[in-house]
A and B are shown apart, each in its own frame.
Chain A
Amino acid sequence: MCLAVPGRIVSIQEEADDALRTAVVDFAGVRRQVSLAFTPEARPGDYVMVHVGFAISVVDENEAERIFQELARLGACEPRQEEATDNSP
């Protein structure tokens, strides 16, 4: 429900315990410390969705790109039905 804001990881402060791992995240020039406890896969340069001080996902750049490709298709011709996309393995 909730406001989660995308920001770019500038640097990561590694800890012995992954649960305490934090990052400095840049939001359009504002920098804040964010917990990476729930995104152990995050790396510097990644974009993360941040909610109440925690990264809850790493933004999937490829998927972000797809919405624009779909929009471009929309403009070009009859709107096509979107197939159900399922990312599960």
Chain B
Amino acid sequence: MRAAPRRGDGQLAVRYVDEYRDEQAGARLVAALRERVSRRWTVMEICGGQTHTILKAGLLDLLPPEIALVHGPGCPVCVTPVELIDAAVGIAEQQGAIFCSFGDMLRVPGSQCSLLEAKARGADVRVVYSPLDALKLARANPTREVIFFAVGFETTAPAAAMAVWQAAREGLSNFSVLVAHVLVPPAIEAILSSPDGRIQGLLAPGHVCTVTGYQPYEELARRHRVPIVVTGFEPLDILQGLLMLVNQLEKGRAEVENQYRRSVRREGNRAAQQLMDEVFERVDRQWRGLGLIPLSGLRLRARYGAFDALGRFRAARTATAESCECMAGLILQGLKKPSECPAFGTRCTPESPLGAPMVSSEGACAAYYLYSRRRWPSEQL
């Protein structure tokens, strides 16, 4: 084992974090990228967490201009359908309910309001860091209904599955889950199948693949002839993942490679997969901004149906209004840039978002809003 690393400024590094933020190593990767790339490539990073790192570390400045990086739909905040937000609000407003959610979801606008606004009006909405926190609340408050908003991709679904599984074992009668999980491979299939598609390579989400393995992506790569690199979340991970992707593109290869080998194995995490399969089954799901993607969502299996919040609460559902200015769909597919939306930065800002990609700090629109403002007047995007 290597000795505990030190950062450039001499400070003791945070293991497995700081090493992947090393500037000199990053510079070498960037130099290699610039040297390797010979023409324009359009690549998409799937995961919102990767978008976040790219923006936070200012990586867009460093990449060669030939690489067009498109931010994909890998943000549960952005893609959770409006109906589920409305259901969440409806349930949260029930007398005596304790509605538990990850922080990410609180500001997302439903058709009437967000969970944060429901909280302002008196609903008991609580931020939790784990589904097990919601379970603890249920045990501690036996006379109140506790509902957990199960949002997220395959990374998070096993944790929600465990909460349901434990609740079933304990015979808890006051706990339920509003399931909004979505799956990545069907979304990639939909994006790559789109007739207007321009995506030539993909950075696959490293933590989703930690759970699912990358086997499900091999067929996608082969059928669509698109290279896919499973990538981590630190700046060096992203840069190395891009280098591996560019290497494949320049050589005309279309395979799945694994950059995030310290966490991802081809078969993934079997224990997590087994529990997901025990508790959930696949179902068609609406992706906000993308529409219906077949078999891209999860719901509780019948034997766990008692824990389904949608069944337990007849939450009023309002029809989603059809037309509006938000062009989230085109943006999430990478067909338009946020700056091409007429509402961008004027009627739609992080304080008053029209759509989900402006709400989430790693949504494409919020990202562009921050990034584009640094361009001085002569360089407006």
Tally of contact residues, B, Cβ under 8 A: 63
User: Which residues of chain A come closer than 8 Å to B28, judged between CB atoms?
Assistant: 71, 74-75
> Are B272 and A56 in touch, CB under 8 angstroms?
yes
> Are A54 and B158 in touch, CB under 8 angstroms?
yes
Complex-state Cα separation, A75 to B35, whole angstroms: 13
User: Which residues of chain B come closer than 8 Å to A66, judged between CB atoms?
Assistant: 261
**With contacts A1-B74, A54-B159 known, is A60 near B207, CB below 8 A?**
no
> Are A49 and B263 in touch, CB under 8 angstroms?
yes
Q: Does B152 contact A (CB under 8 A)?
A: yes
Q: Does A53 contact B (CB under 8 A)?
A: yes
**With contacts A3-B49, A65-B2, A87-B265 known, is A47 near B258, CB below 8 A?**
no
User: Which residues of chain B come closer than 8 Å to A81, judged between CB atoms?
Assistant: 247, 251
User: Which residues of chain B come closer than 8 Å to A61, judged between CB atoms?
Assistant: 1, 262
A69 to chain B, nearest CB (A): 11
**With contacts A56-B158, A56-B207, A85-B261 known, is A38 near B266, CB below 8 A?**
no
- Which residues of chain B from 239 to 281 have any CB-CB distance to chain A below 8 Å in the complex? 240, 243-244, 247, 251, 255-258, 261-267, 269, 271-272, 275
Complex-state Cα separation, A82 to B1, whole angstroms: 24
A89 to chain B, nearest CB (A): 9
Complex-state Cα separation, A66 to B207, whole angstroms: 19
Complex-state Cα separation, A51 to B129, whole angstroms: 9
**With contacts A1-B48, A1-B155 known, is A37 near B207, CB below 8 A?**
no
Q: Does B44 contact A (CB under 8 A)?
A: no
Chain A interfacial positions (CB closer than 8 Å to B): 1-6, 8, 19, 27-28, 35, 37-40, 47, 49, 51-54, 56-57, 59-61, 63-68, 70-71, 74-75, 78-79, 81-82, 84-88
